[in-house]
Chain A
Amino acid sequence: MFIPQPICTGCQGDHLEWVESSGRGRVYSFTTVHRPPRPEFDVPYVVAIVELDEGWHMLTNLIGCEPNSVQVDMPVEVSFERMSEEITLPMFRPVG
Chain B
Amino acid sequence: MSRSPFHDVAIVGAYNTVQAKTADQPEMGLLLDSMRGAVASAGLSLGDVDGLNVTSSVQRYNSREAVALLGGNPSWTGVDIGIPAVIEAAFAISAGLADVVLIATAQASEYTDRVKTAPWTRPSNEFVECWGLYTAAEFALIARRHMHLYGTKPESLAEVASAIRSNGARNPAALHYGREVSPGDVLNSRMVADPFHLLDCAVTCEGGAGLVMTSIERARDLDVEPVYIHGGAIERQGMAYMTPPVWDRYGHSGRTAARKAFGQAGLTPADVDVAEFYDPFSFEIIRQLEAFEFCAEGEGGDFVMDGRIRIDGELPIVTNGGLMSFSHAGLAQLLQKPIAAVQQLRGELPEVLTVPGAKLALASNGGAGALFCDVLLVGTEQP
Q: Is the CB of B131 within 8 A of A57?
A: no
Q: Is the CB of B243 within 8 A of A3?
A: yes
A89 to B127, CA, bound (A): 10
Q: Which residues of B130-180 are within 8 A (CB) of A?
A: 130-134, 136-137, 140-142, 144-145, 148
Q: Is the CB of A37 within 8 A of B244?
A: no
A32 to B137, CA, bound (A): 8
Judge whether B239 is part of the interface by a CB distance below 8 angstroms: yes
Judge whether B69 is part of the interface by a CB distance below 8 angstroms: no
Q: Is the CB of B132 within 8 A of A29?
A: no
Q: Is the CB of B142 within 8 A of A29?
A: yes
B239 to chain A: which residues have CB within 8 Å? 3
A28 to chain B: which residues have CB within 8 Å? 145, 246-247
Which range holds the interface residue count of chain B?
35 or more
Partner of B133, one of A34, A37, A87: A37
Partner of A49, one of B190, B192, B244: B244
Partner of B144, one of A29, A45, A57, A61: A29
A59 to chain B: which residues have CB within 8 Å? 127-128, 131, 133, 244
Q: How many A residues touch B, CB cutoff 8 Å?
A: 28
User: Which chain A residue shows the least CB distance to B144?
Assistant: A29
Partner of A35, one of B127, B131, B192: B192
User: Which chain A residue shows the least CB distance to B139?
Assistant: A31
**A contact patch SS:** strand
Partner of A57, one of B142, B190, B191, B246: B246
Q: How far is the CB of B192 from chain A (nearest CB, A)?
A: 4
A31 to B141, CA, bound (A): 6
Q: Is the CB of A39 within 8 A of B116?
A: yes
A33 to B144, CA, bound (A): 13
B127 to chain A: which residues have CB within 8 Å? 3, 58-59
Q: Is the CB of B141 within 8 A of A30?
A: yes
Known interface pairs A34-B192, A47-B137; A72-B128 also in contact (CB < 8 Å): no
Contact flags A14-47 to B (C-beta < 8 A → 1, else 0): 0000000000000011111111111101000101
Known interface pairs A3-B243, A34-B192, A35-B193; A61-B131 also in contact (CB < 8 Å): yes
Q: Is the CB of B140 within 8 A of A31?
A: yes
Name 10 interchain pairs, CB-CB below 8 A, sorted by A. Answer: A29-B141, A29-B144, A29-B246, A31-B193, A35-B193, A37-B117, A37-B133, A47-B141, A49-B141, A49-B244
B contact residues vs A (CB 8 Å cutoff): 115-117, 121-122, 127-134, 136-137, 140-142, 144-145, 148, 190-196, 198, 239, 242-247
